[in-house]
């Protein structure tokens, strides 16, 4: 789960990290008032779940209250498209208005998971404000990476090494050490999966400040991070994704017209691949999960049937824990409830497949086509939806 | 022979009295696995369908000589259950639980570095040596005893592969689901190495997916060490970057974890790639053919 910049900064501030003075605003008037407190000179930053905002026009420096109002009017309630979003972009419902801070140096710090090492790592770079992967590629000597032994932890001597790497001494060196230790504590205590400060700046008056902050929380740990779980901003997701999440269905909206309902994440990905190979375009990824009950399966079907961009559905179920006959019953119940008659191609294998098939073939109201094979099922739905010539 | 489990394995189910633990514990027993004990703190001294339940894994090991644990403990307690199994002297722990926090797994994997116990999972379907022993939630009836070793990050996609293999007359030595999380106990390479040394395994089918670089590492290992035909399927060619595709570990991030890179790495190592999920068994047969072997010798 991602946090907005303002949420990430508030979290870091709890751990003693210095952040710019700022205010979250949701309207042009509020933006104007916030700008007034900075005598007009401030930065407006669109709050969306994506990076690359600066180049996309989502971050603007202004010199007057009037200008702040103009920029706020341009940004608020629009969608911001950045290199990290899709073409539709993300809605801007709030702006962070911050003081202008004269900067002497820009640095980079992050904590994240190194999957292959199975450990957390600290990444530091003397090139702040840049994309870290680019820096690592172009000037690897400017990047230091420290893998953390979880039994030892991130220690003051590690942090001192990073301060030296930054060439920060005296009070600033001490501040760097405190900052790094605080970040590690925050990272662990909040079950973060990413904590990035880019840029971390040395201000003209010699303070260490987090100018931007990006924090993601491990979804699997939200059961013990109740405060953070409540920060989730549903506006940043497709409404169907929000609805699916409520029923604990793994669902991702895509661009095509063919809805997909599959059990199991790997099989669901494979089904999308198969469909694409057959010339179809999936409308979504949907994994109902292994132990789904009938309510959940019915809701999954309804999400597809009620999606106006879905012209037809491909169902691929491998029955194990999940029985094919129960899936068939849920499908019929959901279709009856929505009154939908779009074509549905069903492919099932495994537990109680024949019973499932019989249930589907006995009904006559729905436009359901049975297929035995994965490839033939994908081909069938593509053909059914092909414009007739 | 096979790897990791066989008819002699003695299994304790941690979380036996929960709904999943009960259901799958009994299904494994129906398959022929020796489910010798259950563990649920606070329920020691009771029985479930004739299976004795203990408060601790240590008692299950001492009294019933369990050497394998199948773990269904919910996420908040899963890490502790794994550590308990390790300290009790369990040889192999299989954690089925989905949704174990990463921080817990980082610590568990570090602790297990000093343990003789192997962990499989979490967030996995378990493993099965067809006709002998099932420690997991997969449907037993699609498997056939034979000599293909199967290793996978997925659940139902593995069942799909296994069914295709069985339908094509390619039985399996052991099928291992290593799990879909970013941090897991047993890697592709660990399992490939076991298959390499197992005389009953004649060929290997690997199922990977987007996220991380485990497939690339496996490819490098295969090129150097594996002496048997290998075929593979990688799911997620069409997955959009930055989105978590169901599994916690299935995400393309910062240009890393793409299916195309994994496929290229495996192909470079001589692995026969299944171009589509419908042609997994076919790819296995091709791998045997390319090695000058008949898949039916297997």
Is residue B83 located within the same domain as residue B155?
A: no
Q: What is the pLDDT of residue A221?
A: 97
Among chain B residues, CA nearest to A251: B246
ipTM over 0.85: yes
Domain CATH for B31:
3.40.50.720
Q: Which residues of A touch B72 (CB under 8 A)?
A: none
The domain in which residue B271 lies consists of 138-297
Fold agreement (A1-20+102-236, A21-100): no
d(CA A109, CA A145): 10
Q: What is the pLDDT of residues B239-262, one digit of tens each?
A: 988 888 988 888 888 778 999 999
pLDDT score of A134 more than 80: yes
Q: What is the pLDDT of residue B249?
A: 87
Is residue B212 located within the same domain as residue B89?
A: no
Q: Supply the residues of A annotated as catalytic.
A: 108, 196
Q: How far is CA B77 from the centre of its chain?
A: 21
Q: What is the pLDDT of residues A190-214, one digit of tens each?
A: 999 999 999 999 999 999 999 999 9
**Three-class SS of B219-260:** HHHHHHHCCCCEEEEEECCCCCCCCCCCCCCCCCECCECCHH
| Higher local confidence (pLDDT), A320 or B245 | B245
Is residue B50 located within the same domain as residue B171?
A: no
Residue B63 Cα, gap to closest chain A Cα (Å): 31
Q: What is the pLDDT of residues B40-51, one digit of tens each?
A: 999 999 999 999
Helices (H) and strands (E) in chain B, counts: 9, 14
Domain limits of chain A? 1-20+102-236, 21-100, 238-385
Is residue B109 located within the same domain as residue B171?
A: no
Instruction: Examine residue B126 and state whether it is found in any structural domain, yes or no.
Output: no
8 Å CB contact of A113 and B239: no
Is residue B142 located within the same domain as residue B172?
A: yes
Q: What is the pLDDT of residues B179-216, one digit of tens each?
A: 999 999 999 999 999 999 999 999 999 999 999 999 99
* A23 C-beta neighbours (distance < 10 Å), count: 18
Q: Tell which B residues from 200 to 239 touch A, by Cβ distance under 8 Å.
A: 207, 209-210, 212-214, 217, 233, 235-239
CATH superfamily, domain at A1-20+102-236: ATP-grasp fold, B domain (3.30.470.20)
Confidence of residue A132 (pLDDT cuts 50, 70, 90): confident
Lowest mean pLDDT among A37-46, A49-58, B265-274: A49-58
CB pairs under 8 A between A and B: 170
**What are the strands of the beta sheet with B68-71, ordered from one edge?**
B47-48, B51-54, B34-39, B10-14, B68-71, B92-95, B118-120
B110 to A94, A263, B249: CA distances (angstroms)? 42, 33, 19
Is residue B249 located within the same domain as residue B219?
A: yes
* A140 C-beta neighbours (distance < 10 Å), count: 10
Domain CATH for B150:
3.40.50.261
Residue A281 Cα, gap to closest chain B Cα (Å): 10
pLDDT score of A338 more than 90: no
Four-way CATH pick for A238-385: 3.40.30.10, 1.10.760.10, 3.40.50.450, 3.40.50.261: 3.40.50.261
Q: What is the pLDDT of residues B277-290, one digit of tens each?
A: 999 999 999 999 99
Four-way CATH pick for A21-100: 3.40.50.720, 3.75.10.10, 3.30.1490.20, 1.10.390.10: 3.30.1490.20
Confidence of residue A388 (pLDDT cuts 50, 70, 90): low
Average pLDDT (A250-274) is: 95
Q: What is the pLDDT of residue B297?
A: 52
Instruction: Examine residue B181 and state whether it is found in any structural domain, yes or no.
Output: yes
Q: What angle do CA A101, A103, A109 make, to 5 degrees?
A: 105
Q: What is the pLDDT of residue B59?
A: 98
Residue B140 burial (C-beta neighbours within 10 Å; 0-12, 13-18, 19+): middle
Residue B42 burial (C-beta neighbours within 10 Å; 0-12, 13-18, 19+): exposed
Q: What is the pLDDT of residue A137?
A: 84
Among chain B residues, CA nearest to A276: B238
8 Å CB contact of A266 and B99: no
Average pLDDT (B54-67) is: 98
Is residue B41 located within the same domain as residue B177?
A: no
Q: What is the pLDDT of residue B1?
A: 65
Confidence of residue A181 (pLDDT cuts 50, 70, 90): very high
Q: Which residues of A150-176 are buried (b: 16+ CB within 10 A; e: fewer)?
A: beeebeeebbebbbebbebeeebbebb
What are the φ and ψ backbone dihedral angles of A60, each rounded to 5 degrees?
-135, 140
Is residue B146 located within the same domain as residue B222?
A: yes
Is residue B170 located within the same domain as residue B203?
A: yes
Is residue B156 located within the same domain as residue B290?
A: yes
Is residue B165 located within the same domain as residue B277?
A: yes
pLDDT score of B15 more than 70: yes
Q: What is the mean pLDDT of chain A?
A: 93
Q: Supply the residues of B annotated as catalytic.
A: 247
Q: What is the pLDDT of residue A163?
A: 97
Q: Which residues of B touch A110 (CB under 8 A)?
A: none
Q: What is the pLDDT of residue A261?
A: 96
Q: What percent of chain A has pLDDT over 90?
A: 81
8 Å CB contact of B139 and A267: no
Q: What percent of chain A has pLDDT over 70?
A: 99
8 Å CB contact of A287 and B207: no
Confidence of residue A282 (pLDDT cuts 50, 70, 90): very high
Q: What is the pLDDT of residue B281?
A: 97
Interface mutation target, options B25, B26, B238, chain A, most CBs of A under 10 Å: B238
Q: Tell which B residues from 30 to 69 touch A, by Cβ distance under 8 Å.
A: none
List the single residue in B102, B207, B245 with the smallest CB-CB distance to A193. Answer: B102
Q: Tell which B residues from 8 to 27 touch A, by Cβ distance under 8 Å.
A: 20
Total domains present in chain B:
2
**Residues in CB range of A190: below 8 A, 6 or more apart:** A11, A215, A217, A225, A228
Confidence of residue B176 (pLDDT cuts 50, 70, 90): very high
Average pLDDT (A287-299) is: 84
8 Å CB contact of A270 and B157: yes
């Amino acid at each position: 789960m991602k946090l907005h910049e303002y949420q990430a900064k508030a979290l870091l501030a709890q751990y003693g990290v210095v952040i710019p003075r700022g205010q979250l605003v949701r309207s042009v008037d509020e933006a104007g008032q916030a700008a007034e407190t900075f005598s007009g000179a401030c930065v407006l930053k669109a709050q969306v779940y994506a990076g690359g905002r600066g180049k996309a026009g989502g971050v603007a420096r202004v010199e007057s209250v009037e200008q702040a109002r103009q920029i706020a009017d341009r940004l608020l309630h629009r969608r911001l498209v950045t290199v990290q979003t899709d073409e539709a972009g993300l809605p801007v419902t709030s702006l962070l208005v911050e003081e202008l801070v004269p900067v002497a140096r820009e640095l980079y710090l992050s904590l994240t998971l190194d999957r292959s090492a199975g450990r957390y790592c600290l990444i530091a770079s003397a090139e702040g404000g840049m994309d870290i992967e680019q820096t690592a590629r172009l000037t690897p000597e400017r990047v230091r990476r420290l893998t953390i032994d979880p039994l030892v932890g991130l220690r003051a001597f590690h942090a001192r090494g990073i301060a030296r790497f930054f060439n920060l001494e005296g009070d600033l060196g001490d501040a760097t050490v405190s900052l790094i230790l605080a970040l590690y504590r925050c990272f662990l205590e909040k079950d973060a999966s990413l904590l990035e400060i880019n840029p971390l700046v040395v201000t003209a008056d010699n303070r260490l400040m987090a100018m931007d902050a990006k924090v993601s929380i491990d979804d699997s740990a939200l059961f013990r991070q109740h405060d953070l779980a409540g920060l989730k901003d549903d506006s940043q997701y497709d409404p169907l994704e929000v609805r699916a999440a409520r029923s604990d269905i793994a669902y991702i909206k895509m661009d095509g017209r063919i809805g997909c309902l599959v059990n199991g994440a790997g099989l669901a990905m494979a089904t999308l691949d198969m469909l694409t190979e057959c010339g179809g375009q999936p409308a979504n990824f949907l994994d109902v999960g292994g132990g789904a009950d009938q309510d959940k399966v019915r809701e999954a079907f309804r999400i597809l049937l009620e999606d106006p961009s879905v012209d037809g559905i491909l169902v691929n179920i491998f029955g194990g824990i999940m029985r094919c006959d129960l899936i068939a019953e849920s499908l019929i119940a959901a279709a009856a409830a929505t009154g939908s008659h779009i074509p549905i191609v069903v492919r099932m294998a495994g537990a109680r497949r024949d019973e499932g098939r019989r249930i589907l073939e006995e009904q006559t109201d729905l436009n359901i086509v049975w297929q035995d094979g994965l490839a033939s099922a994908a081909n069938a739905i593509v053909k059914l939806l092909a414009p007739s010539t | 022979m096979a790897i990791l489990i066989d008819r002699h394995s003695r299994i304790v189910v941690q979380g036996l009295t929960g709904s999943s633990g009960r259901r799958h514990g009994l299904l494994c027993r129906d398959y022929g696995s020796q489910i010798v004990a259950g563990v649920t703190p606070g329920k020691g001294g009771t029985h479930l369908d004739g299976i004795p339940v203990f408060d601790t894994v240590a008692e299950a090991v001492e009294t019933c000589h369990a050497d394998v644990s199948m773990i269904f403990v919910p996420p908040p307690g899963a890490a502790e259950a794994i550590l308990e199994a390790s300290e009790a002297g369990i040889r192999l722990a299989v954690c089925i639980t989905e949704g174990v926090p990463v921080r817990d797994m980082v610590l568990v994997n570090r602790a297990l570095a000093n343990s003789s116990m192997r962990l499989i999972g979490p967030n996995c379907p378990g493993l099965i040596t067809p006709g002998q022993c099932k420690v997991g939630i997969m449907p037993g009836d699609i498997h056939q005893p034979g000599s293909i070793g199967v290793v996978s990050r997925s659940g139902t996609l593995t069942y799909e592969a296994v069914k295709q293999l069985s339908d094509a007359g390619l039985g399996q030595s052991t099928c291992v689901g290593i799990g879909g999380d970013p941090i897991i106990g047993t890697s592709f390479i660990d399992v490939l190495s076991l298959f390499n040394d197992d005389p009953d395994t004649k060929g290997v089918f690997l199922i990977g997916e987007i996220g991380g670089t485990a497939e690339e590492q496996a490819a490098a290992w295969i090129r150097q060490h594996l002496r048997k035909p290998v075929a593979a399927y990688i799911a997620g060619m069409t997955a959009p970057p930055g989105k978590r595709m169901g599994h916690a570990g299935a995400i393309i991030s910062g240009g890393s974890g793409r299916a195309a890179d994994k496929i290229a790495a495996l192909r470079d190592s001589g692995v026969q790639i299944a171009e589509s999920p419908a042609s997994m068994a076919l790819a296995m047969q091709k791998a045997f053919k390319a090695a000058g072997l008949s898949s039916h010798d297997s």
